[in-house]
Structure 1
Amino acid sequence: MTIPTVTLNDGNQIPQLGYGVFKVPPADTERAVAEALEVGYRHIDTAAIYGNEQGVGAAIAGSGIPRDELFVTTKLWNDRHDGDEPRAAIGESLDKLGLDAVDLYLVHWPTPAADNHVHAWEKLIELRDAGLTRSIGVSNFLVPHLERIVEATGVVPAVDQIELHPAYQQREVTDWAAANDVRIEAWGPLGQGKYDLFGVPAVAEAASAHGKSPAQVVLRWHLQHGFIVFPKSVRRERLEENLDVFDFALTDAEVAAIDAIDPGDGSGRVSAHPDEVN
């Protein structure tokens, strides 16, 4: 199976569908990532704060897959923005992952109360230039945060990884990203099970029409919008199901019906607001 790639604004390619290890217990991570790689995933998304980079690295080392066939992302945690902490932090992550460089390094949250995300972004530019990461981006940044780092440095992030699912589509951020050639990565793409997404008629009807599961329909909706997505599961059958989304396409009407799930008032958010994470 060939997973489509997306071209980032720095010319690098990223697989559009990957495997996320958020909340995968460290003790289970090596097995889960090894199974994901066996099933066909080549894009792994982790973070320092997840506590499971070592398991990701062990699975990669044991897979026998050439490094240039893998795309690995990790992230800078909130308490490592100041001084030269970002360089120390990526060094620790690389040691745990067993890699010389990652493919993508992200500022995990903007931490506005600390007012240091511009400094963190400046340091990520240095890390990219030093060859410790091929691409750099951000996570959970809203438009004011994005505008500020670009104004300060002239460097536009390759990606912004944000909470995005049918009930919460963050159109202000996605519109800004589209206008500035920033790719959107959707975390919590299925709403983390915190609302009855699969019972929504627009999703259920499309699933029935295509002979697919509701989860596959929602992942397909993300892909057709051009979002990069990495659903999480620790069950092999679900890993396989989440990857089996390239043999059908939603109609324009089906996409529009899922688009309409978001009430547009922000009430669909299922996680923390970026201004409140510091």
Structure 2
Amino acid sequence: MSTTIPLTLSFTQHNQTLPALVYTPTKLDASMKRKSTAAAPNSKKRKLALADGKVLAAMRLRIFELEDQLAASGQDQDQRPAKRARTTVNTETTSAPDAGTSAAAGSSSGNAKEDEKKRKMQVKKILDRLKKDCKAADLKFQGTPKTVKFDEVFEQAEFQSLFGGKGTLIQPTPQNKPTSTVTIMHFNQSQLVEFFGNGLSALKGNSWTRGGGPRFAKSVKLEQCELIVNSLDVNYSKNGMKCTLKFEVEDKDGMGGCYGPSGLSRGIWAMY
């Protein structure tokens, strides 16, 4: 016959904070040990007698306590690595902008140098074309300004890089066709020097005498002459990417302009 020993425990509801319990050996424990030892030779399993469910309630209470202890221990372990992780992330976040800023600055500097190099090449291309056309056989400098006109093709970004902020903008402006897709600019002599530098100083052409006159003489090629550029008009179409450059060029010394070789031989120059 099993003996029932009263067990007094304080029971709290589930999901509530439980006070820590101190285990104290009882007569029931001693009795269970003795009976378990005695039953060992006979290989019989010990069956617990449940008196009004008190033992089961005690076990259930103990399980709740262990679960709470494990949960608290797990939170402590999770919090320590989390703090280290945040420190690591903050360090990386702090150092990342410095690296990004340095990379951006280097990239910006590299792009600026590349753009300037490209612009100089485009300016040289225009200047070379102007020099070539000024020496053309059909271009006769006879004491009056001549027009040298040719076209280039530029994307809008290239045109802005080349001509943006240069010369005098005629169109579009707030007062003159502000929504126009055609850009018109004008360069005077000082603005041309700023744009081309010393490149215009080596510009040369051929001076000729004038044909006709009293003797209806033919024009004669005289000699090579130095040229000056008075102005430049730029007309750029955004849609067609066509840029028309029109230079006004003349003989620097004005040596051409006489009527035929007879006038030249007598030293008579008909300039007008």
TM-score normalised by the chain length of structure 1 = 0.20
Instruction: Report the structure number with the largest CA radius of gyration.
Output: 2
